[in-house]
Amino acid sequence: MYRTLLMVSVMLVALLVFAGCGSKEEPPVVTDTTPVVTEPIVAEPVVEEPTDKVPPAPAPIDYASMTPQEYGIEDVFFAFDEYSLTDEAMRTLNAASRIMREHSDLVYMIEGHCDERGTVEYNLALGERRAVAVRDYLVSLGMPARQLRITSYGEERPFAFGSNESAWALNRRGHFSRP
């Protein structure tokens, strides 16, 4: 009896499992085959209205708050233990003088710099001779001397760090700044 009851229960469970797994037929999808009629889109003509307004002028550039390098004045470089200007330095100063004359209200500081070789005193003196050479050349091009100040930093403010020729060459320079 227990065995029969067990068999009937298993058959009943199996019947329920198989009945639940049956697939349902999906209803067919009906598509509308009626053509859709749309009205053509007519763009309205764009009419530009004349304006009497002039766009605002750009704000003036405040060169006094900029470094000379920000508007094109570049450093000049010197040979080892020299303060005479090279041809390349003169070309650089010719371009700088054109820019400086456009801004005759500004004053420029010419800084003389050296590499680390030599004594502090010697490099300060050499840096000053370099700054004087730059100033004198600019004055010969028509720059007013009142716009040019000079100072020497010797080896105290290197541009490039290192004890090799490429660093030393970058440190032997005349640099422009604001006083």
Q: Which among 175, 36, 60 is positioned nearest to 111, based on CA atoms?
A: 175
Question: What CATH number belongs to 76-177?
Answer: 3.30.1330.60
What residue ranges do the domains of the chain occupy? 76-177
pLDDT given for residue 92 in this prediction: 96
Task: Name residue 177's beta-bridge partners.
Answer: 109
Cα Rg of the chain, angstroms: 43
pTM for this model (two decimals): 0.65
pLDDT given for residue 32 in this prediction: 58
Q: Which among 154, 159, 147 is positioned nearest to 74, based on CA atoms?
A: 159
pLDDT in tens, the chain (179 residues): 666 766 667 676 666 666 655 555 666 665 656 666 566 666 676 666 666 677 777 767 776 677 788 888 999 999 999 999 999 999 999 999 999 988 888 999 999 999 999 999 999 999 999 999 999 999 999 999 999 999 999 999 999 998 999 999 999 999 999 88
pLDDT given for residue 143 in this prediction: 94
Sort strands 76-77 and 173-177 into parallel, antiparallel or unpaired. antiparallel
